[in-house]
A and B are shown apart, each in its own frame.
Chain A
Amino acid sequence: MTQLDGRTLEVLTLELQGEVFALEATQVYEILDQTQITEVPGSDPFLSGLVNVRGKVVPLADLRLKFDMPQTAATIDSRIVVIDVMIDGEPVTAGILADKVNEVTELTAAVLQETPKLGMKWRPEFIRCIGKHGSEFIAILDIDRIFAEHQEAAVGMQASGLDQSAA
């Protein structure tokens, strides 16, 4: 992506089902240990939970669903990454589930590449760019885009969800 030229990007790397992804570190508030998650009946499975983050009620997203990954039970390594997402131009605090959080690292512009249109099993629009860290390729997530996608889809899903439960 052209806007990344000529600077380094600080990212937090995390794992979802063994795959390494990265988030821009400036979006990240804090990382919490797995806590009690409250289910929201009737909500989109992607956003089915709520957690208490220092007295605030924060929605919890499961990115694994967006990447067609299986939802496995929490392990000792599971974490909740609290981030800021832009929704309709307003920042909203949300949590995302990570199977493991690795480190905060810097990726230089030289190793950042545009998302290839082919050769990835994930939807390319969810990935901002690809960075190389050591010998590994890391996909840097476009979090705002992933949540925006959800918002558009949500209206239809909710309507059908309610009908089912009311029947």
Chain B
Amino acid sequence: MSSQDPSELFRQEAQELLEQLEQALLDLSERRDDQDLIDSTFRALHTIKGSGSMFGFDAVAAFTHYVETAFDLVRKGTVPLTEEMVTVALAAKDHIRNLIEHADAATEAQGGPILSRLERAVDAASGGSAGAPAAAGEAVPQDVPVAATGDASSAPQTAWHVRMRLPKDCMATGTNPLLLLDELVSLGEARVTALIDTVPPLDVLDPFDCHVGWDVHLVTAKPKSAIEDVFLFVLDEMELLIGPAQDNATPVPDQAAVQVEAAPEVPAVAETSAAAKPAEAKTPAAAPRAAGVAKSEAAAAKNNAAGSIRVPAERLDELMDRVGELVIAQSRLKQVAASTADIQVKAIAEEIERLALELRDTTMGVRMVPIASLFGRFRRLVHDLANELGKEISLTTSGEETELDKTVIERLNDPLVHLIRNSIDHGLESAEQRQQTGKSAQGNIHLSARHSGDKVLISIRDDGRGLDRQRIQAKAEENGLLAPGTKLSDSELFQLIFQPGFSTASKVTNLSGRGVGMDVVKKTVEGLRGNIDIASTQGEGTVITLQLPLTLAIIDGLLVRVGNGRYVIPLSAVEECVELPASEEQRSSGRNFLNIRGELVPFLRLREMFATKQPPDMFQKVVIVSSGDIRVGLVVDQVIGDHQTVIKSLSKLHAKIGTFSGATILGDGTVALILEVAHLVARGQQRDERLRAAV
């Protein structure tokens, strides 16, 4: 049994359930009559309530109870589901999360208005006639399925044979088989037989497990669905067969087995595409279920559970640190091995090099998370913003399976939220405006992710009004960011919106000014060693593309020497290495250009920048690096070779030096600095401009 804190266990479980609930609700807002979704919403609510009261989160249980009651009415068809109810339910879901995170009286008090709003919504939906008092404080009996009596009394009695087997660990998750049996017995006349064939011998028996299954012969007037309802919350894990009983009442499990549809756990990936094509998305999710029998499904669920484990993020970080140290130690070994004549040592060093690199790749793979987890969060954002602004917006996504380092994903959340808010607030027009310009009333935000080399491209595309070149130019000139009359290319001009304090919005809505600004977005992305591109066509929309590295932890680097100092240049930025022509070497710094196949490339002498005192090497080398579409040469004394670079960030004390993005530890244990290419390129460009101005 696990020694984890039970309330922590509940928090984790609730976290997942709340996410499921949110996804289901968002799907429901598009397909309000989807019974599967209503059921899974109800189930999630019920489980939160049940586990909440079990673990002592009484406020959570009490509040959730009312929401659950409302959805029970929907589930039974008493009340149709309205858009308002979905919206209130989303607010309720947020409130439940709050209750779990900060359980205090003040938080609890916020629940009242939500419940009364829910009550009104339910009343409105039922046409006021049914008068279902959802939140009136009147407790609806908890054993919901039994309450679903209807007018079944007149129905003829049927004999059913029910065979049930719960998963072994069901007691640990709070399921009580006796309660299930009691509920079953209360449906009619029942005869229960225990199945003890799987009970292990005493010496290997784990008293915490449930080893017994049951056969129940049940004569009842209730329909089969009433029996199924008893097992509503354990269906996913259990083995259940319900069939009409034979006259002699012998259990015939296989012949008349009826497969009970399990909970439609649509994965996030399928769901997002479901937003675009509801009909298509339903098929893949439903098909495999229809084919399988209950037993194999239970087995599959079990396999799934064993196939993945939950690991705290810090442990992954620790693992990555250890691997980083191993890679450093390995490169030391490689140096030692290179200087020895011992064949055996060399062989082992090679073997260890291979293993260390494989281990590094595997570890980085472990940290990779599909971006779907991030995209999923934005559905809610778009839904809320659409309501708030009264715009019709659809969110479509693609490439959710693209994997990125988990740290990158976490740090991307805020910038992406800001970019999406911006697109919705400033980019998309109102429905009327859209129709006037011949567009569909519904605006579209498309999120996509894809790999491109060792980078991941994430783009946010809207089909709104696009960026206004003139306005940006005017605003930039007004703010003194641009000399009047300067001609810039589109992409250069659009980069200006990332300047601090730059805003073309003529009026401040309640969306702008919340959270981070565009300059912070750019900083965050650059902090992840990524960059941002904007493309926009006026009247047709804007595409903002973030280009990000796959991982933050380890890069391939090119090790160079300047004077006594060794530096690492990220290999992804390096285009080529050339020798500095002797003619250029003689020249004073009057003209720092290289002719690379007919193209002029400005270069920077790192010796000068770093104020190196040692005499220069005879033949200076130039490493041509690029950032965006700009190339700059860096003059170094020696190109040493490629280097597996484990990135260590610089401390706060050195954070202000823009030239270096971090440091690494070399094979001999010394520290080498990693050059920040974007910064150097910017420096090169400045020099370039200065020189041109001088000419």
Task: State the A residues within 8 Å of B (CB).
Answer: 35-36, 38-43, 47, 50-52, 55-59, 87-88, 90, 92-94, 147, 150-151, 154-155, 158, 165-166
Q: Which of B137-145, B214-222, B235-243, B608-616 contacts A (4 or more CB under 8 A)?
A: B608-616
Is B372 on the interface with A (CB-CB < 8 A)? no
Offer 24 A-B interface pairs, CB within 8 angstroms, sorted by A. A38-B670, A38-B673, A39-B564, A39-B565, A40-B654, A41-B565, A41-B609, A41-B610, A41-B612, A43-B657, A50-B650, A50-B654, A50-B671, A50-B673, A57-B648, A87-B652, A92-B651, A94-B653, A147-B653, A154-B656, A155-B656, A158-B657, A165-B610, A166-B687
Chain A residues within 8 Å of B665, by CB: 52, 55, 57
For B668, the closest partner residue in chain A by CB is A36
Is B663 on the interface with A (CB-CB < 8 A)? yes
Q: Of B325, B612, B663, which is within 8 A of A57 by CB? A: B663
For B566, the closest partner residue in chain A by CB is A38
Q: Does B651 lie within 8 Å of A59, measured CB to CB?
A: yes
Q: Does A40 lie within 8 Å of B652, measured CB to CB?
A: no
Chain A residues within 8 Å of B670, by CB: 35-36, 38, 52
CB proximity to A under 8 Å, residues B277-325: 321, 324-325
Highest count of chain A CB atoms <10 Å: which of B564, B612, B652: B652
CB proximity to A under 8 Å, residues B256-272: none
Given A40-B657, A47-B653, A87-B653, CB of A57 within 8 Å of CB of B671:
yes
Q: Does A38 lie within 8 Å of B651, measured CB to CB?
A: no
Is B672 on the interface with A (CB-CB < 8 A)? yes
Q: Does B652 lie within 8 Å of A90, measured CB to CB?
A: yes
- Measured between alpha carbons, how far is A158 from B321 in the docked complex, in Å? 31
Q: Of B321, B324, B653, B669, which is within 8 A of A35 by CB? A: B669
**Known A38-B673, A166-B686; further 8 A-B contacts with Cβ < 8 A:** A38-B565, A41-B659, A43-B657, A50-B650, A57-B650, A59-B654, A88-B652, A154-B656
Q: Does B669 lie within 8 Å of A52, measured CB to CB?
A: yes
- Measured between alpha carbons, how far is A94 from B564 in the docked complex, in Å? 23
Q: Does B669 lie within 8 Å of A36, measured CB to CB?
A: yes
Chain A residues within 8 Å of B611, by CB: 41, 165
Smallest CB–CB gap between A74 and chain B, Å?
15
- Measured between alpha carbons, how far is A24 from B193 in the docked complex, in Å? 75
- Measured between alpha carbons, how far is A87 from B651 in the docked complex, in Å? 10
Smallest CB–CB gap between A156 and chain B, Å?
11
- Measured between alpha carbons, how far is A88 from B653 in the docked complex, in Å? 11
- Measured between alpha carbons, how far is A94 from B321 in the docked complex, in Å? 19
Contact with A along B548-584 (1 / 0, CB 8 A): 0000000000000000110000000000000000000
Is B683 on the interface with A (CB-CB < 8 A)? yes
Chain B residues within 8 Å of A40, by CB: 654, 657, 660, 673
- Measured between alpha carbons, how far is A147 from B654 in the docked complex, in Å? 12
Q: Lowest 9 CB-CB distances: which A-B pairs, in order?
A: A41-B610, A38-B671, A36-B670, A57-B648, A57-B663, A50-B671, A59-B653, A55-B325, A59-B651
Smallest CB–CB gap between B657 and chain A, Å?
6
Chain B residues within 8 Å of A58, by CB: 651
Chain A residues within 8 Å of B59, by CB: none
- Measured between alpha carbons, how far is A90 from B648 in the docked complex, in Å? 18
Q: Does A150 lie within 8 Å of B648, measured CB to CB?
A: no
- Measured between alpha carbons, how far is A55 from B329 in the docked complex, in Å? 10
Contact with A along B654-688 (1 / 0, CB 8 A): 10110110011100111111000000000100110
CB proximity to A under 8 Å, residues B313-361: 321, 324-325, 328
Chain B residues within 8 Å of A165, by CB: 608-611
Q: Does B328 lie within 8 Å of A55, measured CB to CB?
A: yes
Q: Does B325 lie within 8 Å of A38, measured CB to CB?
A: no
Chain B residues within 8 Å of A57, by CB: 648, 650-651, 663-665, 671
Smallest CB–CB gap between A39 and chain B, Å?
6
Smallest CB–CB gap between A51 and chain B, Å?
7
Smallest CB–CB gap between B47 and chain A, Å?
41
Smallest CB–CB gap between A81 and chain B, Å?
16
Chain A residues within 8 Å of B608, by CB: 165
Q: Does B656 lie within 8 Å of A93, measured CB to CB?
A: no
- Measured between alpha carbons, how far is A69 from B279 in the docked complex, in Å? 79
Chain A residues within 8 Å of B565, by CB: 38-39, 41
Chain B residues within 8 Å of A52, by CB: 665, 669-671
- Measured between alpha carbons, how far is A50 from B328 in the docked complex, in Å? 17
- Measured between alpha carbons, how far is A51 from B648 in the docked complex, in Å? 12
Highest count of chain B CB atoms <10 Å: which of A38, A43, A59, A90: A38
Chain B residues within 8 Å of A47, by CB: 653-654
Highest count of chain A CB atoms <10 Å: which of B648, B652, B659, B671: B671
- Measured between alpha carbons, how far is A88 from B683 in the docked complex, in Å? 30
- Measured between alpha carbons, how far is A9 from B498 in the docked complex, in Å? 52
- Measured between alpha carbons, how far is A165 from B40 in the docked complex, in Å? 64
Smallest CB–CB gap between B637 and chain A, Å?
14
Chain B residues within 8 Å of A151, by CB: 653
Chain A residues within 8 Å of B687, by CB: 166
Smallest CB–CB gap between B122 and chain A, Å?
50
Q: Of B612, B651, B663, which is within 8 A of A93 by CB? A: B651
Given A40-B673, A55-B665, CB of A150 within 8 Å of CB of B659:
no
Q: Does A92 lie within 8 Å of B673, measured CB to CB?
A: no
- Measured between alpha carbons, how far is A88 from B608 in the docked complex, in Å? 34
- Measured between alpha carbons, how far is A36 from B671 in the docked complex, in Å? 8
- Measured between alpha carbons, how far is A154 from B653 in the docked complex, in Å? 9
- Measured between alpha carbons, how far is A138 from B391 in the docked complex, in Å? 72
Chain B residues within 8 Å of A50, by CB: 650, 654, 663, 671, 673
Contact with A along B591-626 (1 / 0, CB 8 A): 000000000000000001111100000000000000
Smallest CB–CB gap between B646 and chain A, Å?
9
- Measured between alpha carbons, how far is A163 from B321 in the docked complex, in Å? 37
For B659, the closest partner residue in chain A by CB is A42
